[in-house]
Every structure is written in structure tokens, then in C-alpha cells.
Amino acid sequence: GAVVSQHPSWVICKSGTSVKIECRSLDFQATTMFWYRQFPKQSLMLMATSNEGSKATYEQGVEKDKFLINHASLTLSTLTVTSAHPEDSSFYICSARGHKGTPPNTGELFFGEGSRLTVL
Amino acid sequence: EDQVTQSPEALRLQEGESSSLNCSYTVSGLRGLFWYRQDPGKGPEFLFTLYSAGEEKEKERLKATLTKKESFLHITAPKPEDSATYLCAVQATGGYQKVTFGIGTKLQVIP
């Protein structure tokens, strides 16, 4: 159980275009999803926290208008990188935590497989 | 601010050579400490959650322990398939749900 699916696994796009990444919890309801970014040899950096049905909470330094996050249902959150530039190239990973009172509910995060974005 | 420091950054072991990875943490109040395994180009895979000092958890060749200041991930008789980056993370008590990650220890097990 506690499977999180992320799509696409990798994407290459031209500078100036927008890219959407989907994150789905397959076997549990995720009221909260988190989006991370990871550079080589660095730790996971939290970009934003999204709660189903409300606006995402962005970490300091993360541009809200560039990284649009939508959490429309208990099983789906999306990250859209708008007007992507080469410096946005990175590994983006989503994670989910279960709804209080339902499995998994012990605090740990379950991660998707990650999406490698390359902006040319 | 919550901090997680992992050591060593990289570790190379011979197959069967047991060792330990360290995770030192600073947090206002610990809600949970997590260990993850991450393979190259993949998302982290959950291993353990520890909640209080003195707690231990085991899974195959891995054993995680927790004190008030640090956690250890002990690897007994490792195999090449244990090669990966091991991440430690902490979550503080309180309303905010943020989880802070360490940079990880890259483990290589040589046959």
C-alpha cells in the first residue's frame, strides 16, 4: 500500500514553454501533498505544500507564479512549471501523507518516482 | 530552524562488511525521524519511522536506532543491492507539517 505515482518520469522542453507534472496517490487519500526539488548531491528541498481544496503554501524563495500547484482532489496534485528556463532543469519529486484517521497515518511521507525536467 | 546532518557523505564497503550511518538532528520537538533509501533517478523509498529515544526498528539487514540527538542506520553484512543513498529526515511537533531532509549518505557495496 501507500503507492504514489508521478508522471511523466522525464520531460524535455524548449525554453519558454510550460510543463505539467502529475502526482497521484493510488491506494490512499492524500489530504496533503508536498513538492520537492533535488539538485545533484543536495538534499531534497521543499518547494510547496498543497492541501486538497485550498491554495498551496510555498517555501521562501519559490516563485508562486512560476511553479503553479493545484490539488483538486484527494488523490491528485499537479505542478506546472510555467515559462520554463534552463535553470529550472532539475529533478522534481512529489510526496503524499495520508488523511488523518486513515492509513497511512503515521507521519511518514510516500514519494513518487520523480520527474526529470530538462529545459533546452 | 530544524537541521539534519548525515555522515559520512559517502561510504564504500566490501560485501559482508557491517557498518553504521549517522544522522544528527536539531529540532524543537521531535514528532518523527524517518529513514529513506533513494536509488539514482528515483524517488525516495520509505524504510523506517522512529518516534522516541530508545526506539529501534529492523528490516532485513537494516536496523535503525534513535537517541535524543541522533539516529543510526546499522547495516549488517551488506550486499551489493544495498548500494543506494540513504536519507534521514525529521518532522517537528507543532502545526506545520514540514519535513527536513539531510543530504544523505551514498553507500556503495562492492562484491
What is the 3-class SS of chain A, one letter each residue? CCCEEEECCEEEECCCCCEEEEEEECCCCCCEEEEEEECCCCCCEEEEEEECCCCCEECCCCCCCCEEEEEEECCEEEEEECCCCHHHCEEEEEEEECCCCCCCCCCCCEECCCEEEEEC
User: Cell 511553479 identifies what position?
Assistant: A67
- Tell me if A43 and B34 make a contact (CB, 8 A cut-off): no
Confidence of residue A102 (pLDDT cuts 50, 70, 90): very low
Contact B46 A34 (CB under 8 A): no
Interface of A with B in 75-114 (CB under 8 A): 91, 93, 95, 97, 106-114
Show residues of chain B in contact with A48, CB under 8 Å.
none
Place of cell 546499522: B74
Residue B95: the pLDDT is: 56
Q: Which of B102, B21, B43 is nearest to A45 (CA)?
A: B102
Distance CA A32, CA A3 (A): 14
Mean pLDDT across the stretch A60-71? 93
Compute the distance between CA of residue B34 and CA of residue A5 in angstroms, rounded to an integer. Answer: 21
B41 contact A CB<8A:
yes
Question: How many other C-beta atoms lie within 10 A of the C-beta of residue B11?
Answer: 17
- Hey, which residues 35-64 in chain A have their CB within 8 Å of chain B? 41-44, 46, 49
B50 in reach of chain A (CB within 8 A): no
Nearest residue on chain B to A39, alpha-carbon basis? B103
Average pLDDT, chain B: 93
Judge whether residue A72 has pLDDT over 90. no
User: How distant, in Å, are the alpha carbons of A111, B51, B59, B62, B109 from that of A35?
Assistant: 10, 24, 28, 28, 31
Residue B37 has pLDDT above 60, yes or no: yes
Specify the pLDDT at position B96: 58
Written as nine digits, the cell of B31 is 514528532
The pLDDT value given to residue B97: 66
Which residue type, as a one-letter code, is found at position B17?
Answer: E
Q: Which of A74, A75, A32, A37 is nearest to A56 (CA)?
A: A32
**Residue-level pLDDT at A106:** 58
Q: Does residue A28 or residue A119 have the better pLDDT? A: A119
Helix (H, G, I), strand (E, B) or coil at B16: coil
Task: Check residues B81 and A104 and name the one with the higher pLDDT.
Answer: B81
Across the range B67-83, mean pLDDT stands at 97
DSSP state of B93: S
Residue A107 binned pLDDT confidence (cut-offs 50, 70, 90): low
Q: Specify the pLDDT at position A101.
A: 47
Give the pLDDT confidence score for residue A53 in this predicted structure: 81
Q: Which of the pair, A30 or B94, is modelled with greater confidence?
A: A30
Give the integer Cα–Cα distance in Å for B85 and B82: 9
Interface check B87 vs A, CB under 8 A: yes
On the question of pLDDT at A47 being above 80, the answer is yes
Exposed e or buried b per residue across B60-69, where buried means at least 16 C-beta atoms within 10 angstroms of its C-beta? eebbbbbeee
Q: Please give the residue that has the higher pLDDT: either A79 or B94.
A: A79
- Percent of chain A at pLDDT > 70 equals 91
pLDDT in tens, A52-62: 888 899 999 99
The grid coordinates listed for A1 are 500500500
Q: What is the pLDDT of residue B82?
A: 97
The string of pLDDT tens digits covering residues B82-102 is 999 999 999 887 755 678 899
Q: Residue B44 — pLDDT band, cuts 50, 70, 90?
A: very high
pLDDT at position A51 is: 84
The helix/strand count (H/E) of chain B reads as: 0, 11
